[in-house]
Chains A and B, each alone.
Chain A
Amino acid sequence: KAGVTQTPRYLIKTRGQQVTLSCSPISGHRSVSWYQQTPGQGLQFLFEYFSETQRNKGNFPGRFSGRQFSNSRSEMNVSTLELGDSALYLCASSSDMTAGELFFGEGSRLTVL
């Protein structure tokens, strides 16, 4: 089975721009969750989608949004980028987040200049 795939792996943006990141879950997995990883804060939960519906949302501003498509692929969008948004964004999939184990992608490293 192919693992969780995230694209792009690296990207550089400037303040004020917006960015879209993509995540393809493991085949058959319906839950996709997103995390922001920074050296100082560790992993922080952004949101989780299940069957195209956002089930949970973390404590991030409205500039962070996401969606999930019928094939379970998910995208997250960050608008009006700030320097502090520079981070590794991780996507994880599971058959159902209530089931426990998360399978992570390699992440998309965003640098905001």
Chain B
Amino acid sequence: AQRVTQPEKLLSVFKGAPVELKCNYSYSGSPELFWYVQYSRQRLQLLLRHISRESIKGFTADLNKGETSFHLKKPFAQEEDSAMYYCALRGSGGSYIPTFGRGTSLIVHP
């Protein structure tokens, strides 16, 4: 069974501080990992996916298969980064049902 764990419900930092939102997964095959973000009063949207290996809004995430993690990082948090972040996993081999973590609320204080 596939599982996604986001251990922090809430992460509170000050502007300019580094941010790391943790995501650990359990999956027996080769997963595809995503980070979705939901800003206040906006719909859920894709932030980044591991196969793109790109930086979006200063955020990066590296898939670590040894530690089965896909942590989201940003060196200097901004107030506009305050949002709900969801880590998601999609399997392979015919079953593409996505599994989402329970989400981490990031609050960036001025």
Contact = CB atoms under 8 A, between A and B. Distances in A.
Interface of A: 3-4, 33, 35, 40-45, 48, 56, 58, 90, 92, 97-98, 100-107
Q: Which of A3, A4, A43, A106 has the most CB of B within 10 A?
A: A43
A48 B97 contact: yes
A36 to B, nearest CB: 11
A112 to B, nearest CB: 22
A45 B99 contact: yes
A3 B97 contact: no
B46 interface: yes
15 contacts: A3-B43, A41-B102, A42-B101, A42-B102, A43-B100, A48-B97, A56-B96, A90-B44, A97-B98, A100-B34, A100-B49, A101-B46, A102-B46, A102-B98, A107-B43
B45 interface: yes
Contacts of B97: 45, 48, 56, 58
Contact of A104 (B32, B34, B43): B43
B86 interface: yes
B101 to A, nearest CB: 6
Q: Which 5 A-B pairs have the closest CB atoms?
A: A42-B102, A43-B100, A104-B44, A56-B97, A104-B43
Contacts of A104: 43-45
Contacts of A92: 44
A102 B88 CA distance: 11
A98 B96 contact: yes
B64 interface: no
Given A43-B86, A104-B45, A97 B102 contact: no
Contact of B90 (A40, A58, A100, A105): A100
